[in-house]
Amino acid sequence: MTLTDLNNGFRDDEQRRRVQRVVHDRLADDRDPQECRFLMRFWWQLVMSYQEVSMDELSLNVGKPKLDVIEALISAIRSSHADIDAWITTTQQVFPLVQDRGFRAAQDNER
């Protein structure tokens, strides 16, 4: 399944940015660098019309709970704007905010 059509499935740029924030802030955890790398490639895929990441790559590199959420998002994008809004709400309820350890370490080094 190609993911190059995802950027066209949003109501507007604000809805796309909200989805990207959820992927970044709640799914892409830098404690698992490999998974985080592929989730961030998916994050980019949401705005790109070329292939940044494939479903096969996501399947190989993203854990089952998060992969299920990504698959639900893809279905929502291809279904309706209301389904995307529901995905945002549900994902925010299920996944807590990720603490960006790399950013925090960089800030600590500046002090």
Helix (H, G, I), strand (E, B) or coil at 108: helix
Whether the CA torsion 50, 52, 56, 62 is positive or negative: it is: negative
Distance of CA 68 to the CA centre of its chain: 12
The single-letter code of the amino acid at 55 is: M
pLDDT tens track for 26-75: 999 999 999 999 999 999 999 999 999 999 999 999 999 999 999 999 99
Farthest-apart Cα atoms in the chain, separation: 48
pTM summary value: 0.88
The single-letter code of the amino acid at 102 is: G
